Homo-oligomer: A and B are copies of this chain.
């Protein structure tokens, strides 16, 4: 098996002895764009699908076709994080899955707090993805005395926002999810920063001004609707039978 890497081909390497773990390459997460990080997250779930199906090896072309991705982009992204892939064999699904999950930190558990126990906050607290594979809800907060002490469907208690800083410190929480109304988002975000949170996932439709060192990701659910609508012909005459 050759180890020569040719242009335009998969990034290839001699297969390491079984059990050998290649060290993480030295990369600075801050130098990786949010788009790349998001794609990494997509690759991990695609690899999980393949692994569950018992697929052992996959080429970037097959991977791209299967999940409607771009094979050149896949090779470029993966090259950022290490040397994967075996000429003529492709990527080892299970190994690559484990490796990328580890880069994303999914092999550790990160505690997350949610601020705002309205419908969205409760939906997220009970959302499978927020309570599995690398994440755990440390607490759900609200400032409404009528909600404090109640539990969500899956049993997460709503706690008083006054306890935020204490719980963040005690549980080593770095990530907060903001699900309060737009009018309350700025003051809640300041409170999160003061409590020591380092990253905020913001569902409120408002831009947050935060000090450097605190990362924010704004989730705009309307973009999904707009992107879908783009492909649908203009509304037909009302009353036309479907």
Is A212 an interface residue when CB atoms closer than 8 A count as contact? no
Is A155 an interface residue when CB atoms closer than 8 A count as contact? no
A200-242: contact bitstring with B at CB < 8 Å (1 yes, 0 no)?
1100010000000001010111111111111111111111111
- Which B residue sits closest to A166, measured CB to CB? B242
Is A118 an interface residue when CB atoms closer than 8 A count as contact? yes
B228 in contact with A175 (CB, 8 Å): yes
A174 in contact with B232 (CB, 8 Å): yes
Neighbour of A169 across the interface among B41, B220, B242, CB < 8 A: B242
Q: Which residues of chain B have C-beta atoms less than 8 A from A219's C-beta? A: 221, 224
Neighbour of A224 across the interface among B106, B217, B225, B231, CB < 8 A: B217
A165-207: contact bitstring with B at CB < 8 Å (1 yes, 0 no)?
1001111101101000010000000000001101111000100
Q: Which of chain A's residues 33-80 have a Cβ closer than 8 Å to chain B?
A: 34, 37-38, 40-42, 44-45
How many chain copies does the complex carry? 2
B199 in contact with A229 (CB, 8 Å): yes
Q: Which residues of chain B have C-beta atoms less than 8 A from A200's C-beta? A: 228
CA of A168 to CA of B241, assembled, Å = 9
Name the residue in A111, A174, A238 with the highest tally of chain B Cβ atoms < 10 Å from its Cβ: A174
CA of A103 to CA of B29, assembled, Å = 36
CB distance from A35 to the nearest CB of B (A): 9
Neighbour of A231 across the interface among B29, B135, B228, B231, CB < 8 A: B29
Q: List 28 A-B contacts (CB under 8 A).
A: A29-B230, A29-B231, A38-B227, A40-B226, A103-B230, A104-B229, A105-B232, A105-B234, A110-B229, A110-B232, A111-B235, A119-B122, A120-B123, A120-B127, A129-B225, A135-B229, A169-B240, A169-B241, A171-B238, A172-B235, A172-B238, A172-B240, A175-B229, A175-B232, A195-B242, A196-B242, A200-B228, A217-B227
